[in-house]
A and B are shown apart, each in its own frame.
Chain A
């Protein structure tokens, strides 16, 4: 029997994986993938609660999150292409003209 707790533990694990990925990985694309993981863990939480509470608002929110994540991916990859054309690297340790 899969209960709400299972979903929440899975989504919490996904969220933490995403946060750790953002903080430790150095390739900008991998960092971006980790961020997508964080957004998807939120989606899973929404859907799980929506089903558990018998309330569709949570599932509606997920559609908005997916649409926005797609828009963000488009802009993000465009930024990565622009920076790759100028610097030929996506390692965020080497993108450091401005002091962190």
Chain B
């Protein structure tokens, strides 16, 4: 079990983030005025780790005696988490001053949450899945309630905490049943069970509980109750993080149990379950989002609908579906980070709600932000040629390959419904005069703008060269 120098190079992303957390803690302990330093430190750290993960993407190996894997899809997930976190660090720099949460702990929790996500994505053993999930979730509970004088933030944190740990109960009990049925916690040996002559019913019950638990985390209907409240109440930069890379992390754990199934005897074991969940999430998310007046709640319901589209890829249970989900997650992460970045600039500091009406006349007041928000709305609604379109395209193709035609048709229909509420924002921004221009001061922030522009460039680039990215994901 000795680690060789190659192993150290392969787990370097984890070591770097871990070391970063310790450095940040030490710096914060000795100097209370270090918040500015910590923000740039986390930005550069996550950028470095993102670059390194992509650079060593071919080093596929197994470390820690089969507890973790590195390379391949794992490193692509590392890239999504760390690049997303770097953008979140940029978006937070001025936002946390406005939200009166200018504390160094913010960045320490951000880095710890990313470490948890990375552990979850690289896990090949249920113990690692559990530890990674909890490291991420506990950091998110604290971050959601970071404005501790603000009742909304408290409430979001409480709801997230209670429902999140309720979910953990399901996941751990599911793991216990899986362990009982298979006698192992290693995912490969667990799923070799499925090829055996008879699989105990206990195994299916355990896996079902596990999937239900993670459906809470990815915000799929009917396990979505916490999503709109938490997204609305939490500080916007935190919402940006948990709705994008947090969701990607939970999906990485679901993919983990689906990937061994793809090569097995009956890959479509869980297809009916995922199909129903995906259909319900898409339709529910799209229809309820129509009725929202608050932009953060609207984006929360759109997040439920997007979880539905991604579940189509899981239901398909083939390689196209798996790479489609990874592509979709990256695309969704960057477009949603950009959209929430703009929301964080426009929302007032106080208890004012970020109503959609407050975006009226944005094209006159700030044409650049209006143009960027229009871009993100187009790509969220899935219009070509941006990244969102290709994300949907790949999961729909996967489901057609698996012979599951009606769910792809339903997905297309639901995209058409969702176009209404995304485009409504563009209509409000460009064609409605602002009544209350004076009380909507847009925060000036160069760093946030930089983060938003980087997201926009990535969304456009992923739309221009989707094929090469999917080929990269598929080559593992």
Contacts and interface: CB of A to CB of B under 8 A. Distances in A.
A17 to B, nearest CB: 12
A35 B162 contact: yes
B103 interface: no
Contacts of B159: 95, 98
Contacts of B149: 86
Contacts of B49: none
Nearest to A46: B176
B151 A75 contact: no
B382 interface: no
B154 interface: yes
A75 B172 contact: no
Contacts, number: 129
Interface residues of B, number: 41
Contacts of A83: 151, 154-155, 157-158
A68 B173 contact: no
A42 B176 contact: yes
A58 B138 contact: no
B155 A98 contact: yes
A61 interface: yes
Nearest to A37: B169
B127 interface: yes
A79 B138 contact: no
B138 A72 contact: yes
B177 A61 contact: no
Give the interface centre of A38, A76, A98 by most chain B CB atoms within 10 Å.
Answer: A98
B158 A61 contact: no
B145 A38 contact: no
Interface string B144-176: 010011011011111101100110111011011
Interface string B261-302: 000000000000000000000000000000000000000000
B131 A98 contact: no
B225 interface: yes
A34 to B, nearest CB: 8
Contacts of A68: 130-131, 134, 138
Contacts of A98: 152, 155-156, 159, 228-229, 232-233
Question: Secondary structure of the A side of the interface?
Answer: helix
Contact of A97 (B138, B152, B169, B184): B152
A39 B169 contact: yes
A57 B141 CA distance: 29
A70 to B, nearest CB: 11
B176 A49 contact: yes
Interface in A27-82: 28, 31-32, 35, 38-39, 41-43, 45-46, 48-49, 52-53, 55, 57-58, 60-61, 64-65, 68, 71-72, 75-76, 78-80, 82
A64 B183 CA distance: 18
B180 interface: yes
Contact of A87 (B151, B175, B225): B151
A57 B162 contact: no
Contacts of B134: 68, 71-72
Contacts of B145: 79, 82
Contacts of B165: 32, 35, 72, 76
B179 interface: yes
A48 B180 CA distance: 9
B172 A82 contact: no
A74 to B, nearest CB: 9
A45 B157 contact: no
A16 to B, nearest CB: 10
A87 B154 contact: yes
Given A45-B173, A68-B130, A75-B161, A97 B155 contact: yes
B385 to A, nearest CB: 37
Contact of A35 (B141, B169, B179): B169
Contacts of A57: 179, 184-185
A9 interface: no
Contacts of A43: 176
15 contacts: A11-B176, A28-B162, A32-B162, A38-B170, A42-B176, A43-B176, A45-B173, A45-B177, A64-B130, A76-B141, A79-B141, A79-B145, A98-B152, A98-B156, A99-B228
Interface of B: 126-127, 130-131, 134, 138, 141-142, 145, 148-149, 151-152, 154-159, 161-162, 165-166, 168-170, 172-173, 175-177, 179-180, 183-185, 225, 228-229, 232-233
Given A42-B173, A79-B158, A80-B158, 10 more contacts: A19-B169, A28-B162, A31-B162, A35-B166, A42-B175, A43-B176, A55-B183, A72-B165, A92-B158, A100-B225
